[in-house]
Chain A
Amino acid sequence: MENTNFVMIFLNWLMSFDRKALILAASAIGAGFAMIAGIGPGIGQGYAAGKGAEATSINPKTSKQAIMVMLIGAGIAETSGILALVVALILLFGNPLVGQSGSVLVIAASAIAAGISMIAGVGPGIGQGYAAGKGTESTGKRPKYQSTILRTMLLGQAVAQTTGIYALIVALVLMFSNPLLKLL
């Protein structure tokens, strides 16, 4: 009789590997997944750069102020990508999961999940980039109000970062103090 339960076949196949190899493989997948978050900052910073070009074309004399707002805004939009990079680097170079005791399946899944959770960074990246673009655009139109525009933009971007921080906290909890391992 042929066994058709593919999930069980897969899990049994997984279990045929060495414990450490399994966790390291999962960490590799997790690190890769984490960096998908780079989509967000990419789109966002691109939008900000486009708005910077627009602001310069509208009012070349005040391009310096617009560029400053663009650089600051884009630098903040990069945060989610950097947070994803931190998680990926922890998984690659300082993996805390390798030495942990407990079910190998849970640990491996946690490594992948830590990476997947960082994909949330796509959202803040796009959103903050949009804010940076709008800030750049309005600075180009009304350079006199640069500091007020910058303040509003920074405040909004800081709030937009919150979901990315949630993702980071979940990723760090999964890696450093996994509550699921204690339930076993």
Chain B
Amino acid sequence: MEGGFGPEIIFTIPGTDIPVTETVTNTWIIMAILILFSFLATRKFAHKPKGLQNFVELLVDGIYKFTAQTMGEDKVAFAPYIGTLMIYLIFANLAGLFAIRPPTADLNTTMGLALITFFMIHFFAIKRKGVGTYLKGFLDPFPALLVINIIGELATPISLSFRLFGNIVGGLIIMNLLYGGLAALSGSIGLPIPILQAAIPAPLHIYFDVFAGVLQSFIFAMLTMVFVSIAMD
């Protein structure tokens, strides 16, 4: 976007003119944090868990239980992907709290994740049911619905990605406008530093970043699980 709410270009890859935007660098930051955390958390596991290990076991156990409950016991092997997806999305959506641009405020990120879901749906449907049954599924409940079924399948990644992107980018723009407005307001009443920017945006951060961010991460992971498991059943 040329209006100033798009991701900034940090640098271009030397020798080419491929831009590397904030989205990519912020994803690297989140990746580094998650890798560091996994490394530190799993370095020395004791037989009797204590401290951090308790938390990690609780988290992993919770994700496995949740996946088994939603997708069925036979598809618990998806838990590592679902867990990674959920943790990454929560970190990415909460990035706005730490004054870095959320990577999910870029359609490229959300569309990429939605395409992973899309290919998972069809790959595992074919793997589980065989190509013939899979293709026949498009003719259900009766053959005239073929086109509608195909469009319905294509709509899945679009609605998945735009739902997450729209929520996060909407929150980002509203927060930007609020900070700009508060700065202008404190300037107009003669304050040299934008003191009004303190504390006032906090409730909106709780709604847009914490509530919407966590809820949307959860919905994205939930829908991925539901679509994949329905395609396989």
Contacts and interface: CB of A to CB of B under 8 A. Distances in A.
A93 B162 contact: no
Contacts of A169: 158
A150 B69 CA distance: 11
A105 to B, nearest CB: 24
- Most chain A C-beta atoms within 10 Å of own C-beta, residue among B156, B158, B159, B230: B159
Interface in A56-112: 71-72, 75-76, 78-79, 82-83, 85-86, 89-90, 92-95
Is the interface on chain B under 10, 10 to 19, 20 to 34, or 35 or more residues? 20 to 34
B103 to A, nearest CB: 17
Contacts of B166: 79, 82-83, 85-86
Nearest to B218: A72
Interface stretch (A4-12, A133-141, A151-159): A151-159
B97 interface: no
Contacts of B156: 158
A45 interface: no
Given A76-B219, A158-B156, A151 B162 contact: no
B70 A155 contact: no
Contacts of A177: none
B173 A93 contact: yes
Contacts, number: 80
B165 interface: yes
Contacts of A92: 3
A131 to B, nearest CB: 13
15 contacts: A75-B215, A76-B163, A76-B219, A79-B159, A79-B163, A79-B166, A86-B165, A90-B1, A93-B4, A93-B5, A94-B1, A151-B70, A151-B230, A155-B226, A158-B155
Given A150-B222, A158-B155, 15 more contacts: A72-B215, A85-B166, A86-B166, A86-B170, A93-B1, A93-B5, A93-B173, A94-B1, A94-B6, A95-B3, A150-B226, A151-B226, A151-B229, A158-B227, A162-B152
